[in-house]
Amino acid sequence: MVGQAWDTDTETDRAGMDPFPVRSWFPAPARVRLEGDLVVHDYDYNERYEPEGEPPPTAGLLDAFLKLRSPVGVLRFVRSFGPLGFCEQHGELGCQREDCTEPLFAEPVDAYLALANRYRLLLASGLRLMGGAPLDETERLAVAGALLVDAAREHRWDLGLFDRWQVGTAVDSLIAQARIRPTFSWGEGRRPTFALDSPLGSGIPNAAGALALQLGRAILGTQAFSVCSTCQTPYERKKTPAPGRPNYCPTCKRDGTADRVRKQEYRARRAKESS
């Protein structure tokens, strides 16, 4: 199933997982607020918002984004990690605000929620494919769209190859939209900074770029995510499950779903053995 609730027992420390942290300026949390269907950010160039020399946090960025389900969640996310840079007019990533007007950003909340849903879908689909399982028809349609899926069937394309290509193209598009631009800078500190800078204007960090890279790494397996065998929700775990073995997210373990499935599978095996 697509779009199940994201749930983890605890936030996992991502320290050291991001080789290229984002740059060191973003709006103060107190200056981020909800106004109707927009999340608005102000910026004061006379204030510093972070300890000198420290980049904004990227630890837990992907986890936090995958949990977005409400405007309040979007507000908390932006206060923690900074804006993604959605255009107020067309709702797509990649807007530029270099005129230094107030508010600096005014982003549609729905754009955050829609992109979070897309991330959940791509992560679940990518992990399924990495595990050797094909996408089901619902996932395939959600990733590629009916037009391309119909074409794949009409021309008898290898659906496994088609699924991998579509997921790969979708993740690559997210990285391209984030306009990642590595930079090397050296200012007052003793050490230079090698970072993913942002073309969003005014030195605001490219949180969208860091987010897209974390998604790619999660699918590759350099971050420990798995897909629940019952509800198909991506979730974080310490060890990758053995191929072919069922695994269950914290929610399915807590509500007893995992135990019920195990009992059903056990009864089915016994019935098959006795027949």
Render each residue's pLDDT in the chain as its tens digit; 275 residues.
333 333 333 233 333 333 333 333 455 677 789 999 999 987 655 554 443 444 455 668 898 999 999 999 999 998 888 888 887 777 677 655 544 445 667 899 999 999 999 999 999 999 999 888 889 999 999 999 999 999 988 888 889 899 999 999 999 999 888 877 766 767 767 777 665 554 444 455 678 888 888 898 888 875 555 667 777 666 666 666 666 678 888 878 888 888 888 888 878 888 878 77
Paired tokens of 12: 């996992």
Do the domain assignments include residue 171? yes
Buried b (16+ CB within 10 A) or exposed e, 44-62: eeeeebeeeeebbbbbbbb
Domain span holding position 165:
29-246
Angle at 4 between CA 221 and CA 40, to 5 degrees: 90
CB 192 within 8 A of CB 185: yes
Give the whole-angstrom CA distance, residue 42 versus residue 102: 6
Please report the pLDDT score of residue 168 as a whole number.
93
Number of domains in the chain: 1
Do the domain assignments include residue 14? no
Do the domain assignments include residue 199? yes
Do the domain assignments include residue 15? no
Do the domain assignments include residue 192? yes
Please report the pLDDT score of residue 12 as a whole number.
31
Do the domain assignments include residue 252? no
Paired tokens of 184: 């090397």
Give the whole-angstrom CA distance, residue 235 versus residue 251: 10
Do the domain assignments include residue 128? yes
Give the residue among 225, 212, 217 at the shortest CA–CA distance from 22.
Answer: 212
Residue linked to tokens 């999660």: 218
Give the whole-angstrom CA distance, residue 50 versus residue 48: 6
Q: Does the bond joining 103 to the residue before it have cis omega, within 30 degrees of 0?
A: yes
Give the amino acid at 192.
P
Give the pTM: 0.66
3-state secondary structure 121-168: HHHHHHHHHHCCCCCCHHHHHHHHCHHHHHHHHHCCCCHHHHHHHHHH
